[in-house]
Amino acid sequence: MSFHPFFFLESKSLEITLALFTFIYCFDRIKRVMKYHLVGYKPTRRNIMKSYYIKQKIFAITDRYKVFDESQTILYHIESKFLSLTHKMDFYRDKDSKHLFTLRRQLFTLLPKYFVTTPEGEDVAIVSKKFTLLHHKLEIESKMGHFTMEGDFLAHDFSVSQDGKAVLDFHKKWLSFGDAYEITIYDEDKTEFLLALVILIDDCLHDENKRH
């Protein structure tokens, strides 16, 4: 029994590719962990770590999300507008159906760009996707300051920082129907705004996948 030399080369190429991706993933994880350990982040009474969960509803004509707390109570819900050219999504507080934000994607841009606005149309933040290799990065200019989002190349682990300090971490679950995220917020004063950013980031990743 003999082996074709091309089979051997293809197997070696696959092994090298898998090893390279594993190295990049591990290096990215270590870099992110070291970054926040070196910078340091000590929660204060006003900045207590809290966990939330976002679940996208599948089998729906429009994009729909729900935000839960640790006791599985629905706190917020997000609905997109049907047949909207600019792909608008409205962010509501669930207990009183108060409209908090509108999330809107700008059309005809080389890289994705989004706006967070009040129900009255006033801009709260501009979210811009940056060109990077092997990882994801977004810059957020807002009335609450400048934020940076970074995510691994597999688009499963993300962090948002402000002035070098982590304000939000979130992880996409591997096995779920529809996108599902586990979220840790370190700055409770910005909870609603940061949750809106998670929705935008998820939509941005979907848009990027469609382009490819």
pLDDT at residue 201, as a whole number? 86
Indicate if 145 and 205 belong to the same structural domain. yes
Give the pLDDT mean for 181-201.
93
Q: What does the pLDDT look like over 63-112, one tens digit per residue?
A: 689 999 999 999 999 988 765 566 789 999 999 999 999 999 888 777 88
Q: Are residues 89 and 36 in the same domain?
A: no
Instruction: Tell me whether residue 116 is exposed, middle or buried, using C-beta atoms within 10 angstroms of its C-beta: 0 to 12, 13 to 18, 19 or more.
Output: buried
Q: Which domain holds residue 108?
A: 45-211
Instruction: Say yes or no: 114 and 194 in one domain.
Output: yes
Same domain, 96 and 7: no
pLDDT tens-digit series, residues 152-172: 877 788 999 998 899 999 888
Q: Are residues 76 and 181 in the same domain?
A: yes
Token pair listed for 4:
């074709």
Structure tokens given for 74:
């629905």
pLDDT in tens, 3-45: 455 444 455 566 666 666 565 555 555 555 444 444 444 444 4
CA distance linking residue 155 with residue 131, whole number of Å: 15
Question: Which has the closest alpha carbon to 190: 142, 157, 155, 149?
Answer: 142
Does this model's pTM top 0.85? My answer is: no
